[in-house]
Amino acid sequence: MGDFGRVLTAMITPFKADGSVNYDVAAELAAHLVNNGTDTLVMCGTTGESPTLSWDEEYQLFVEVLQTVAGKAKVIAGCGSNSTKEAIAATQKAAKIGVHGSLQVVPYYNKPPQAGLYQHFQAIAQACPDLPMLLYNVPGRTGQNLSSETVARLAEVNNIVGIKEASGSLDQASEIRRLTPKEFHIYAGDDSLTLPLLAIGARGVVSVASHLVGNQLQQMIQAFSAGKIKIATEIHLQLFPLFKALFLATNPIPVKKALNLQGWEVGSTRLPLCETDSEICQKLEAVLRELSLI
């Protein structure tokens, strides 16, 4: 259940000049990504600016992108909430639309204990038993870490198939790998840690950089899987400046800037995210030019 491939793109949400969602550009970008290395699109997560999207906007995005990539790629819907009841309702509605999986972030702000986290994810999984679920651990944003022991317990739930692990801790990822069956997929939540995490048994990455270098990320992962470690390392080191440049400001501010520089009309971010300063823009542009991306 729920093999989402190697390169999952945490897709941005394009906006028009008036701040409304640009569904046409979203569809165009989705098609482009799928033709350039993306196996699965992860919609309405952190990079998709889910905190400032309405549920109606999110459902419409799921519909538009599903129609665009039908038969070519899978779509995972970001349905997480810090309210279990709300997350269940959102996930059930997304399942009816036809998404292939859901991404469930650790509840933010209310800082549940590990027992509460277990019950939260278990309840969502049980409410949508036929829909594969990816856990999403990003303590830098949520204020709470999902422990490796809790992940191991959740891995026993039939339709919880993997985790986007964005704690930044190789030790934690190693412990998750040690405690879970090999069928449970670990995905890097940070582009710069994809190669190190592959070495300890990760499946792939939920990527921001794949908006720009999806094919290269596929090449890196496939090279590693084929035992061509030197080639994988060379690709990682070549792309490393880009991985870091995309986080010079809060994600997704830099990646939207990069796409606009490439000619994509994806607009700005919604407040409270805002345009970054000129110095960061210059650094980002320099990296893009160095890699011949603009």
Exposed / middle / buried, residue 17 (Cβ in 10 Å: 0-12, 13-18, 19+):
exposed
Q: Are 45 and 136 in contact (CB under 8 A)?
A: yes
Q: Are 68 and 31 in contact (CB under 8 A)?
A: yes
Which sequence positions are flagged as catalytic? 136, 164
Residue 141 above 90 pLDDT? yes
pLDDT tens for each residue of 194-221: 999 999 999 999 999 999 999 999 999 9
**pLDDT of res. 172:** 98
pLDDT tens for each residue of 26-35: 999 999 999 9
SS3 160: strand
The structure's pTM equals 0.97
